[in-house]
Chains A and B, each alone.
Chain A
Amino acid sequence: AQRVTQPEKLLSVFKGAPVELKCNYSYSGSPELFWYVQYSRQRLQLLLRHISRESIKGFTADLNKGETSFHLKKPFAQEEDSAMYYCALITGANNLFFGTGTRLTVIP
């Protein structure tokens, strides 16, 4: 069975400080992982997918198969990064399984 774990429900950092949102997964197949973000009063939207290895809004995430992790990082947090972040794993049936989410607050 698949599982996505986000150990931190809440994370607060100061503006300009580095931020890391943790995500660990468990999946028997070849994992495909995503980070989704939900800003206040907005719909969920894709932030990053590990396949594309891109940086979006300064965020990066590297898939570490040895540690079964997909942590989201940004070197300098901005106030507009405050949001709910979800790590997700997609299965062969195209179903997304989400972690429980981390609410990031960037303190001015």
Chain B
Amino acid sequence: NAGVTQTPKFQVLKTGQSMTLQCAQDMNHEYMSWYRQDPGMGLRLIHYSVGAGITDQGEVPNGYNVSRSTTEDFPLRLLSAAPSQTSVYFCASLGRGRGDYEQYFGPGTRLTVT
């Protein structure tokens, strides 16, 4: 299993540009989520999905869209990039086992908006 994969690893955008951060998992997990990691702020939930066709907002959803057309993929779209969206973005999926559960994280995408 590749686990959770993210592309690209790095990206530089100009203010106003749009782009999509890709996330895929091959573990057949129903639950997937996106976080952003900022110094001194920890990780904050942007959007999440409990299954194909179902998405919901997290703590900081403004400026981001998601869709979940398949179980495997959960792309994050920045509609009009702003410098405040400079961050490291992590995708995660939730696995269940032995009565408890663990979130598996992707390697992250470092985004800079100038």
For A98, the chain B residues whose CB sits under 8 A away are 35, 42-44
In the complex, whether B108 has a CB less than 8 A from a CB of chain A is yes
Query: Interface residues, chain B, CB within 8 Å of chain A?
Result: 31, 33, 35, 40-45, 48, 50, 56, 58-59, 90, 92, 94, 98-103, 105-108
**Interface residues of A, CB < 8 Å — how many?**
23
- CB-based contact B43/A86 at 8 Å: yes
In the complex, whether A68 has a CB less than 8 A from a CB of chain B is no
For A40, the chain B residues whose CB sits under 8 A away are none
In the complex, whether A107 has a CB less than 8 A from a CB of chain B is no
The answer, among A6, A96, A101, for a CB contact under 8 Å with B45, is A96
Counted as pairs of residues, one from A and one from B, with CB atoms less than 8 Å apart, the total is 54
- CB-based contact A94/B90 at 8 Å: no
Nearest residue, chain B, Cβ from A46: B102
Question: Smallest Cβ distance from A9 to chain B, in angstroms?
Answer: 7
Contact A44/B105 with A95-B58, A100-B42 known, Cβ cut-off 8 Å? yes
Please, what's the 1-or-0 string for A56-96, where 1 marks a CB less than 8 Å from any CB in chain B? Answer: 00000000000000000000000000000010001001111
What CA separation (Å) do A4 and B43 show in the bound complex?
11
- CB-based contact B94/A94 at 8 Å: yes
Near B by CB (< 8 A), chain A positions 1-24 give 4, 6, 9
